[in-house]
Structure 1
Amino acid sequence: MCRWLAYSGTPILLDNILYKPAHSLIDQSLHSKMGVETTNGDGFGVGWYAPAKDSPAVVRDIGPAWSDRNLQEIAGHVVSSLFFAHIRASTGTAVQQTNCHPFRHGRWMWMHNGAIAEFHRLRRDLALAVDPALFPHVEGSTDSEMMFYLALTLGLEEDPPGAVARMAGLVERTGREHGVEFPLQMTVAVTDGVRLWAFRYSSQKETRSLFYSSRVDTLRSLHPDVAFLREIAEGTRLIVSEPLGNLPGAWNAVPESTYGVVQPEGDEMHTFAPA
């Protein structure tokens, strides 16, 4: 499978999150502790929003993240208040740039850890469900990108939680029509550059790990000596496939079949079920 992180909050150098933590995403590309695979070396991607831009920048490549000098150069010079980062372990589709996350359409970004079971059998039916106007934008061959364009087809831009629920329901119905008992495994992050949604769900109710960071004021009271916590705003949040370190009180598991939203008017968490 894969590992990913999503950051929203005080503008920060990507390097501070991608490289500096003890168990950073770069460390996880070689030494994942909670993933299906220890090594996630089938490509990587980062996407970020910059002021006065209508769509995010996305950089993706097929090499391993741990040895990519361009990624390190970007991380040391790009500042953003909202960014995604993903390291890939292929579940069967080709190792190619168009299959690396995050995926982008207009102002939206999407990334995924998990799989559609027996995707090669379901792929044709799912592809036919994508809006014909959107289908030319599908560049790769992954189940993850297909899920993104199905969610866009089903109303992502107007109602992200509802669209992801409808996408999950469609995948499960299609899978079961093909005799697949547990069609869907997913942790998903999606953003429009202002709000950030994260979903944890699987048909088997044994979903891959997902965590969110505690409130900054709580962490400051627990760790008044940590300088980094004094430099970031109250609304800063990280959502990660696995914790970036072992700071006590910093990480909370996202409950099974749940989604959350990080937004200016306050974070929320809700139960998630396919529609």
Structure 2
Amino acid sequence: MCRHIAYLGDRVPIAAVLTEPPHSLYRQAWEPRRQRYGTVNADGFGVGWYADGDPVPARYRRAAPIWADPSFTDLVRVVRTGALLAAVRDTTDGSVPDESAAAPYGFGRWLFSHNGALPGWPGSAADLAAELAPEELLALEARCDSALVWALVLHRLRAGHAPAQALADTVSAIAVSLPARLNLLLTDGTAIAATTWGDTLWHRLDPGRSVVVASEPYDDDPAWTELPDHTLLLATREEIDVTPLKEPPA
């Protein structure tokens, strides 16, 4: 499994979201408090962020543990942003170990992360992959289950689906055939779409100023709210909309 987080709000140093809080994503790499599967997220990390005037985010990803990269703490101390998505990784067996598999994945203005696993990977994924055109399969960022999930989401986004619908339909398509864990995060820098399907997800809204959606709270502020499992979330700086996800047919 993994831990991930998305932030929209006032421009702040990335460190204010990822490293400075007492239970930040940085600390969750070795000491997550609410992770249901796995214990240490040391197989890579990444952060994507948006700069003023540029709709395409930058990404910084590594295959090493987040605490083993001194350049990262330097970077996040000085770079400021009003929107980001970041993750620390606990790899799925059979997945490529290099940084290409570290979230966030990206295309155009989109950033994406998958916290979960496709059981039986890679053999279990053949039917899912059949949904994609050959050129989409060849464009996979990495040989891992999360990259395939991202390709399925992106396939729907390109077809014109709204972000929340793209996530919901992808979860439904996978869950019909696999007992997968599918906590997904997607942002374009203006809104956050997310799903809970097998692990924890929390949100904290300061209306008009900021919203954070994360695998677990990065501090003990009582404003954090946990989402029920099998839930779809759409968040902006002003509001949060929550909808139950349909169970797959028996």
TM-score, normalised via structure 1 length:
0.83
**Aligned residue number for residue 209 of structure 1:** 200
Identity %: 27
Off by >6 Å, runs of 4+ in structure 1? none
CA distance in 2, matches of 1:6, 1:144: 17
Aligned to 2:184: 188
CA shift for structure 1 position 47: 0.2
Asked if residue 269 in structure 1 is aligned to residue 242 in structure 2, the reply is yes
Contact 1:167–1:274 (CA<8 Å) still a contact in 2? no
Contact 2:164-2:234 within 8 A present in 1 as well? no
- Aligned match for 1:240, one of 201, 214, 217: 214
Superposition pairs of residues 161-176 of structure 1, within 5 angstroms:
161-175=164-178
How far 1:98 sits from its partner (Å)?
Answer: 0.8
Give structure 2 stretches of 5+ with no counterpart: none
Seen in structure 2, the aligned counterparts of structure 1 residues 134 and 274 have a Cα distance that, compared at 3 Å, is farther
Q: Which is worse superposed, 78-87 or 262-271?
A: 262-271
Higher strand share: 2
Give yes or no for contact 2:209–2:238 (8 Å, CA) kept in 1. no
Higher Cα Rg, which structure = 1
* Structure 1 partner of 2:50: 49
Let me know the Cα RMSD of the aligned residues.
Answer: 1.8
- Structure 1 range deviating more: 154-163 or 43-52: 154-163
Quick one: which amino acid aligns to residue 193 of structure 1? G
Structure 2 residue 32 is the aligned partner of structure 1 residue 32: yes
Kept in 2, the 8 Å contact 1:99–1:141? The answer is yes
In structure 2, give the amino acid aligned to 1:190.
L
Deviation at 1:161, TM superposition (A): 2.2
SS at match of 2:12: strand
TM-score scaled to structure 2, two decimals? Answer: 0.91
Unaligned runs of 5+ in 1: 176-181, 202-206, 218-233
Query: Structure 2: which amino acid aligns with 1:46?
Result: V
